[in-house]
Amino acid sequence: MTHAPKLSPSRRSVFLCALLGFAVLARGAEAADPITIGAIEILSGPNAKYGFSIKNGFDLALEEVNRAGGVRGRPLAIAYEDTGGSKEQAINAARQLIARTKAPLLLGPTLSTEMFAVGPIANERKVPIIGTSTTANGVTAIGPYVFRTSLPEADVVPVTLRTAQAKFGVKKVAVLYGRDDAFTKSGYDVMKAALEKLGVETLATETFGAKDTDFSAQLTKIKSLDPDAVVMSALADAGAGILLAKEAQGFAPKVRFIGGNGLNSPKVLEIAGAAADGLLVGSPWFIGKTDAANQKFIADYKAKYGGEPDQFAAQAYDALHVAASAINAAKDVTGEAIRDALTKTKIVGVTGPLSFTPDRDPADSSGVLVLEVEHGAFKILD
Amino acid sequence: MLGQQIINGLVAGSAYALFALGLTLMFGVLGVVNLTYGFYFAVGAYLALLAAGAGAPIALALPLAAILAGLVAVVLDFLLLTRLRRTRAPELASLMVTLGATLFLYSAMSALLGSEIRRFPAGLLDNGAFALGAYRISVGQILIVGTAVLLSLGLVSLMGATRTGLAMRALAENSDASELMGVDTQAIMRRVSFLSGALGGAAGVLIGLEYNAIAPYMGEAMTLKGFAIIILGGLGNIGGALAAGLLVGVLEALTAGYVSSVYKEAVGFLLLVLTLWVRPQGLFGRPGARRA
Amino acid sequence: MAQIDDFLWTYQNLLASLGVNGLLALSMYVVLAIGQLSLGQAAFMGLGAYASALLTLKLDAPFPAVIAASMLVPAAVALVIGAPTLRLSGVYLALATVSLGEILRVVLVESDLTGGALGLSGIPEKAGLPLIFACLALALVAFTLICRSRIGRAMEAIREDEIAASASGIDLPAYKMAALVASAMLAGLAGALNAHISSFISPNEYGFDAAVTILSFALLGGIGSPFGPVIGAFILTLLPELLRPLHDYRLVVNGLIIVFAVLFMPHGLLVWPIGRIGAKA
């Protein structure tokens, strides 16, 4: 039996007072002009699901920031621009946010390929830009105004592979990756480097295309080489398809499948079902993390949006807190001042401690978790 | 591994052939490069998904989806091509119309249904696989190879041994002459549209089942490859389409197995370019066909 | 003045897209004008973009040489594709150019030189708006002159009836090949200009969807004169910007335009008779 939570009369009045307090605060804040920052995300088209996760994360953190008094005594606001996943739209969006909206700071864009087009523009105008989901190599090398809060694959993948080597004695592997997608290709580059560093032998490197649904030829070849594990860089759909196909080909259960960040998705479990059991993935964030900040984030997110947050929402949530903290600390509200403040910002977010390296990548990878699928659910491997 | 790769290739090749059958029939008889064919492929798969979701077994869902896809083909053919036939527009006009229509249909479909990959409910098809010595063949794979062979045989005998088939061949040779000879060309065209739409739909169901992935754009990649295959096989040549489909499938699997999976995708198109240079009537086509 | 600068900076990419898409529409126009169909315009554009970007990034070649190469590389490929297919009926060229796009994608994705799926980034901004619009204007003037000349009349004759044109002594293969090569060069130029103003290119920008979008530019404007396709490109580039909700349904609209244009208005949805004025004189 569960009971619907009921508020006792005294508690209810406290709740009411709190609400009134917020209302007063909110009105006070409204009097001042908001500081508007820009966000460039994919809010339409096939990849809109990522953009909306990120937007939800931003909006939730934005509410918290404004409830706590905003930034520099003024409310914070976000102006969103949609890219639809297109490079041209992303460039138009960035130029409008910088020149028309006069945003002193940009968040986004969603994809690394969009960042390669937008980053140089922000850099030219000395407006700091923070990617929250751009994991590819070379993103922050675009220029001194380009930051990211998403751990690059280069930080996540080695942890996963090291764990697999230590726990399951993986010595020889086959690699399978999506060749025509920037995210999966850059994941592969990292895997290759990490495998070499760990001294794991790579028996074969196979690829597939984004629209492929037939993986039988690649898997037949891999199976004939008898690897200890298959390391794959794939998005959720293709990854689940590969897991189903390896089941159909009768791979031994002891052959571990190890994925990058792209496979860290409930969708993989939903599609692949029992075939996903034994899958290992690395993740900068996990819904099952029990620390108080994370639990509060998940509860607030569910209350506001109804569904469960994913890692993109979590990373976006942290990024907005980073942005707010830097705007508060900056000596004025110009791009240059905010950039300087960002380099010194340190917060503890739901993905763990967050600060930037001199190259503007996230400094701390202690939040990385290795997850294993067991009976159709992710759990932390320990 | 060689044996298993050849099996993989034959299965993939049968899927290509299955797809190419309706395409080459449509081109052979109607003289139209009809790009909406890939749409019937996706429609078939989605209809079967709908039927299976409502609890229909595959033996019911497959023919139902095929028939409905055939009807969709008749309607689209009527809407898009009757006007062009009447005005005797050049064949490129019909290619462009169906190209535009395809773009419209695919985008509308993914706007309505979402572009995510859907899957058939588990257990629709027996998941078992037969072990043949060291090789594994699944029920789905046998279904695909079997259907491809049966349907090609059926089509060849329909074309060769029935009055409708005779009329189709007459239409393929010369539509004006066959009209004068008393063939009801409109009715025959409708039948051909229906038949190729149904073939496309059935291919969509079976291929969707085997690779367990259904998406609005599933027909697009297939159509591009399908055209490579029907040109290889000789435009309008049913046996040629079957042979070319199997050839491409096996070569792809062997490329992935022994060269690199990187080049797998390009195999069909490289073959096509080579064919156009060396033998433009197709590997199995009659010489001199379709010259300008 | 500051305001104009601000406006130009904000909308630089949009304005550049107008010019580049105008050039692409013209490249499609040349082929359509002799009754052929190429679905490889996006691939030719990609060839030009990658050839130019590589020359700039790896060899630091002078920009005029880069531009020249961006036109010569697709031209060479057009010769290879055109030689076998232009002898056959038009369908073969259309399908062969589709294959060209697919093969190019495989090569771009696979080669380390071209950066694979990650593409090439950090391309310096060497092509300004003045250069882009000068190219467009030059191409427009050239085509208008050609349209009014004997060559233009021959092209029209080929489009209306190949057999009759051939019978009256027009060298069909030469005309078709020239048109295809010119078209590939224009598309390559557009690709190079685009690469040198948007700083980043990747293989997925030059796929089948892009090829069909270029076709819809030309068909919306109609091929009665070279101005038609350019106006068509301008409209289809601006419309999604002005009507944001339309953005989601961009491809749906493009598809409908093609269907209606071919079925009901073979001379284009926009009637723009300039090219014809004087052509018959």
Binary contact (A241, B116; C-beta < 8 A): no
User: Is C171 near chain A, with CB under 8 Å?
Assistant: no
Whether residue A20 is predicted with pLDDT greater than 50 in this model: the reply is: no
pLDDT digits (tens, 9 = 90+) for B48-92: 999 998 888 888 999 999 999 999 999 999 999 888 888 877 777
| Residue A248 Cα, gap to closest chain B Cα (Å) | 8
Binary contact (C102, B265; C-beta < 8 A): yes
Structure tokens of B65?
Answer: 């989806």
pLDDT band, residue C269 (cuts 50/70/90): low
Mutate to test the interface with A, among C3, C15, C24, C109 (most CBs of A within 10 A): C109
Total count of domains within chain C = 1
B67 located within any domain: yes
> Which pLDDT score is estimated for A148?
93
- Cβ pair C258, B97 in contact under 8 A: yes
Residue of C nearest to B31 (CA): C91
User: Is C248 near chain B, with CB under 8 Å?
Assistant: yes
Say which residue, B243 or B278, is predicted with more confidence. B243
Q: What are the chain B neighbours of A216 within 8 Å (beta carbons)?
A: 8, 11-12, 253
* Strand, helix or coil for residue A356: strand
Beta bridge partners of B181: none
Rounded to an integer, what distance in angstroms lies between the CA atom of residue C256 and that of residue C77? 31
C52 located within any domain: yes
Q: At residue A371, what are phi and psi to the nearest 5 degrees? A: -110, 145
- Cβ pair C89, C162 in contact under 8 A: no
Rounded to an integer, what distance in angstroms lies between the CA atom of residue A168 and that of residue C37? 57
Identify the residue whose tokens are 């006007």.
B83
Binary contact (C106, B92; C-beta < 8 A): no
Burial of A226 (0-12, 13-18, 19+ CB in 10 A): exposed
Helix (H) or strand (E) segment spanning residue A352: strand A352-355
Whether residue A9 is predicted with pLDDT greater than 50 in this model: the reply is: no
**Overall average pLDDT of the A7-32 stretch:** 47
The single-letter DSSP state of residue A74 is B
B248 located within any domain: no
Total count of domains within chain B = 1
Q: What are the chain B neighbours of A248 within 8 Å (beta carbons)?
A: 127, 129, 136, 138
Binary contact (B91, C89; C-beta < 8 A): yes
Beta bridge partners of A146: A129
> Which pLDDT score is estimated for A2?
40
pLDDT band, residue C72 (cuts 50/70/90): very high
Nearest by CB to C203, from A95, A137, A180: name it: A180
Rounded to an integer, what distance in angstroms lies between the CA atom of residue A64 and that of residue A317? 10
Q: What are the chain B neighbours of A273 within 8 Å (beta carbons)?
A: 122
DSSP structure string for B9-35: HHHHHHHHHHHHHHHHHIIIII----T
Question: Which residues, other chains included, contact B18 with Cβ-Cβ below 8 Å and sequence gap of 6+?
Answer: B144, B147, B148, B151, B199, B202, B203, B206, B207, B245
Rounded to an integer, what distance in angstroms lies between the CA atom of residue A156 and that of residue A365? 8
pLDDT band, residue C267 (cuts 50/70/90): low
* Residue whose C-alpha is closest to residue A317's, from A111, A140, A107, A112: A107
Instruction: Provide, rounded to the nearest whole percent, the portion of chain C with pLDDT above 70.
Output: 92
Whether residue B99 is predicted with pLDDT greater than 80 in this model: the reply is: yes
Q: At residue A308, what are phi and psi to the nearest 5 degrees? A: -90, 145
Mutate to test the interface with B, among C32, C95, C254 (most CBs of B within 10 A): C95
Nearest by CB to B266, from C106, C248, C259: name it: C106
Q: What are the chain B neighbours of C215 within 8 Å (beta carbons)?
A: 96, 99
What average pLDDT does chain C have? 87
B72 located within any domain: yes
> Which pLDDT score is estimated for A89?
86
Binary contact (A218, B5; C-beta < 8 A): no
- Cβ pair B233, B247 in contact under 8 A: no
Q: At residue A69, what are phi and psi to the nearest 5 degrees? A: 105, 5
Q: What are the chain A neighbours of B117 within 8 Å (beta carbons)?
A: 237, 241, 271
Say which residue, C3 or A128, is predicted with more confidence. A128
- Cβ pair A140, A146 in contact under 8 A: yes
Say which residue, C7 or B122, is predicted with more confidence. C7
Binary contact (C103, B104; C-beta < 8 A): no
B2 located within any domain: no
Alpha helices in chain C (DSSP H): 2-10, 12-32, 41-54, 63-85, 90-110, 129-148, 150-160, 162-167, 172-198, 208-221, 227-242, 250-264
Beta bridge partners of B137: B130
Q: How far apart are the first and last CA of chain A?
A: 33
> Which pLDDT score is estimated for A21?
45
The question of ipTM being above 0.85 is answered as no
Instruction: Provide, rounded to the nearest whole percent, the portion of chain A with pLDDT above 70.
Output: 92
B114 located within any domain: yes
When mean pLDDT is compared across B238-247, C47-56, C247-256, the lowest value belongs to C247-256
Q: What are the chain C neighbours of A184 within 8 Å (beta carbons)?
A: 117
Touching subunits for chain C (3+ Cβ pairs under 8 A): A, B
> Which pLDDT score is estimated for C271?
47
Nearest by CB to C94, from B95, B270, B280: name it: B95
Rounded to an integer, what distance in angstroms lies between the CA atom of residue A364 and that of residue A224? 40
Nearest by CB to C118, from A44, A89, A186: name it: A186
Say which residue, A181 or A114, is predicted with more confidence. A114
Nearest by CB to C249, from B84, B111, B231: name it: B111
Pairs across B and C, CB distance < 8 A: 132
> Which pLDDT score is estimated for A84?
81
The single-letter DSSP state of residue A262 is G
| Residue A121 Cα, gap to closest chain C Cα (Å) | 9
Residue of A nearest to B220 (CA): A211
β-strand pairing of A35-41 with A280-283:
unpaired
> Which pLDDT score is estimated for B286?
58
Binary contact (C204, A45; C-beta < 8 A): no
pLDDT digits (tens, 9 = 90+) for B189-232: 899 999 999 999 999 998 888 877 888 888 887 888 888 898 88
Whether residue A13 is predicted with pLDDT greater than 60 in this model: the reply is: no
User: Is C93 near chain B, with CB under 8 Å?
Assistant: no
Binary contact (B5, A249; C-beta < 8 A): no
Spell out the domains of chain A, with CATH numbers in brackets.
32-151+290-355 (3.40.50.2300), 154-283 (3.40.50.2300)
Helix (H) or strand (E) segment spanning residue A163: helix A153-168
Number of alpha helices (DSSP H) and beta strands (DSSP E) in chain B: 11, 2
> Which pLDDT score is estimated for C279?
40
| Residue C17 Cα, gap to closest chain B Cα (Å) | 22
Rounded to an integer, what distance in angstroms lies between the CA atom of residue B36 and that of residue B98? 6
- Cβ pair C55, C225 in contact under 8 A: no
Strand order of the sheet with strand A201-208?
A201-208, A172-178, A229-233, A256-259, A280-283, A369-374, A377-380
Cα-to-chain-centroid distance, residue B144: 13
Question: Which residues, other chains included, contact A139 with Cβ-Cβ below 8 Å and sequence gap of 6+?
Answer: A112, A115, A116, A119, A131, A146, A148, A152
Mutate to test the interface with C, among B104, B106, B281 (most CBs of C within 10 A): B104
The beta strands (E) that lie in A162-227 are given as 172-178, 201-208
| Residue B163 Cα, gap to closest chain C Cα (Å) | 30
Residue of A nearest to B250 (CA): A217
Residue of A nearest to B251 (CA): A217
> Which pLDDT score is estimated for B68?
96
Rounded to an integer, what distance in angstroms lies between the CA atom of residue C175 and that of residue A327? 64
Beta bridge partners of A176: A206, A232
- Chain C stretch 195-254, residues whose beta carbon is closer than 8 A to a beta carbon of chain A: 198-200, 202-205, 241, 244, 247-248
The beta strands (E) that lie in chain B are given as 129-132, 135-138
- Cβ pair A39, A90 in contact under 8 A: no
Nearest by CB to A218, from B117, B122, B256: name it: B256
pLDDT band, residue C280 (cuts 50/70/90): very low
> Which pLDDT score is estimated for B114?
77
Whether residue C201 is predicted with pLDDT greater than 90 in this model: the reply is: yes
Whether residue C248 is predicted with pLDDT greater than 50 in this model: the reply is: yes
Q: At residue A166, what are phi and psi to the nearest 5 degrees? A: -70, -40
C212 located within any domain: no
Question: Which residues, other chains included, contact C235 with Cβ-Cβ below 8 Å and sequence gap of 6+?
Answer: C220, C221
C276 located within any domain: no
pLDDT digits (tens, 9 = 90+) for A270-314: 888 888 999 999 888 888 888 899 999 999 999 999 988 988 999
Binary contact (B261, A207; C-beta < 8 A): yes
> Which pLDDT score is estimated for C252?
84
CB count in 10 Å sphere of residue A17: 10
- Cβ pair B3, B131 in contact under 8 A: no
When mean pLDDT is compared across B172-186, B242-256, C96-110, the lowest value belongs to B172-186
Binary contact (B104, C256; C-beta < 8 A): yes
Nearest by CB to A220, from B8, B119, B262: name it: B8
Rounded to an integer, what distance in angstroms lies between the CA atom of residue B96 and that of residue B93? 5
> Which pLDDT score is estimated for A16?
45
Nearest by CB to A117, from C198, C244, C248: name it: C198
Instruction: Count how many Cα atoms sit within 13 Å of the Cα of residue A247 in the half-sphere of its side chain.
Output: 19
User: Is C252 near chain B, with CB under 8 Å?
Assistant: yes
The single-letter DSSP state of residue C161 is -
- Cβ pair A333, A253 in contact under 8 A: no
Instruction: Count how many Cα atoms sit within 13 Å of the Cα of residue B287 in the half-sphere of its side chain.
Output: 1
B255 located within any domain: no
Pairs across A and C, CB distance < 8 A: 75
User: Is B45 near chain C, with CB under 8 Å?
Assistant: no
- Cβ pair A288, A379 in contact under 8 A: yes
Burial of B133 (0-12, 13-18, 19+ CB in 10 A): exposed
Question: Which residues, other chains included, contact C57 with Cβ-Cβ below 8 Å and sequence gap of 6+?
Answer: C120, C122, C123
Whether residue A83 is predicted with pLDDT greater than 70 in this model: the reply is: yes
C101 located within any domain: yes
Domain housing C172: 12-206
C238 located within any domain: no
Q: State which amino acid sits at residue A346.
A: K
Whether residue A71 is predicted with pLDDT greater than 80 in this model: the reply is: yes
Q: State which amino acid sits at residue A139.
A: V
Domain housing B205: 15-216
- Cβ pair C74, C188 in contact under 8 A: yes
When mean pLDDT is compared across A201-205, C81-85, C157-161, C263-267, the lowest value belongs to C263-267
C56 located within any domain: yes
pLDDT digits (tens, 9 = 90+) for B25-36: 888 888 888 889
B33 located within any domain: yes
Binary contact (B95, C257; C-beta < 8 A): no
CA distances from C219 to A189, C136, C228, C230, C236 (A): 43, 18, 9, 10, 11
Beta bridge partners of C201: C120
- Chain C stretch 194-233, residues whose beta carbon is closer than 8 A to a beta carbon of chain B: 208-209, 212, 215-216, 219
Rounded to an integer, what distance in angstroms lies between the CA atom of residue B243 and that of residue B220? 22
Whether residue A31 is predicted with pLDDT greater than 60 in this model: the reply is: no
